[in-house]
Amino acid sequence: MSGDREQLKTELLEQIDKDNIPAHIGIIMDGNGRWAKARGKTRIHGHQEGARRVKTVVRFANDLGVRHISLYAFSVENWARPSFEVSALMRLIRAYIIRERNDLHAEGVQFRLLGRMEELAPEIIRQANISTELMKNNPGLSLNLCINYGGRAEIVDAIKRIITEGYKPGEISEQLVSQHLYWPELPDVDLMVRTSGEMRTSNFHLWRGAYAELYFTPVLWPDFDNAELLKAILAYQNRERRFGKTSEQL
Residues with a known catalytic role: 30, 78
Among the residue ranges 15-23, 125-133, 165-173, 197-205, the one whose residues contact ligand IPE (CB under 6 A): 197-205
Q: Which one of ligand IPE, Mg ion, none is in contact with 73 (Cβ closer than 5 to 8 A by kind)?
A: ligand IPE
Q: Which one of Mg ion, ligand IPE, none is in contact with 72 (Cβ closer than 5 to 8 A by kind)?
A: ligand IPE
Looking at the Cβ atoms of 30 and 213, the one nearer to Mg ion is 30
Main-chain dihedrals φ then ψ at residue 112, nearest 5 degrees? -140, 140
- The 3-class SS string of 20-74 reads CCCCEEEEECCCHHHHHHCCCCCHHHHHHHHHHHHHHHHHHHHHHCCCEEEEEEE
Does 116 bind ligand IPE (CB under 6 A)? Our answer is: no
Does 33 bind ligand IPE (CB under 6 A)? Our answer is: yes
Does 114 bind ligand IPE (CB under 6 A)? Our answer is: no
3-state secondary structure of 194: strand
Q: For ligand IPE, how many residues bind (rule: CB under 6 A)?
A: 18
Alpha helices (H) in the chain, listed in sequence order: 3-15, 32-37, 43-64, 83-106, 122-135, 151-164, 174-178, 226-237
Q: What span, in angstroms and rounded, lies between the C-alpha atoms of 109 and 139?
A: 7
Half-sphere exposure of 90 (CA within 13 A, CB side): 18
Judged by the rule CB under 5 A, the positions of this chain that interact with Mg ion are: 30
Residue 145 forms beta bridges with which residues? 71, 113
Q: What span, in angstroms and rounded, lies between the C-alpha atoms of 181 and 136?
A: 19
Does 75 bind ligand IPE (CB under 6 A)? Our answer is: yes
Among the residue ranges 107-115, 134-142, 198-206, 228-236, the one whose residues contact ligand IPE (CB under 6 A): 198-206
Looking at the Cβ atoms of 29 and 158, the one nearer to ligand IPE is 29
Contacts of 242 (CB under 8 A, 6+ apart): 249, 250
DSSP letter, residue 212: P
Looking at the Cβ atoms of 30 and 154, the one nearer to Mg ion is 30
Among the residue ranges 8-16, 24-32, 107-115, 181-189, the one whose residues contact ligand IPE (CB under 6 A): 24-32
Does 216 bind ligand IPE (CB under 6 A)? Our answer is: no
Residue nearest to ligand IPE (CB): 33
State the nearest-atom distance from the C-beta of 82 to ligand IPE, in Å: 11
Among 8, 21, 25, 29, binds ligand IPE (CB under 6 A): 29
Distances (CA, A) of 157 to 151, 179, 187, 193: 10, 12, 18, 25
Interacting residue ranges for ligand IPE, rule: CB under 6 A: 28-34, 72-75, 77-78, 89, 196, 198, 200, 202
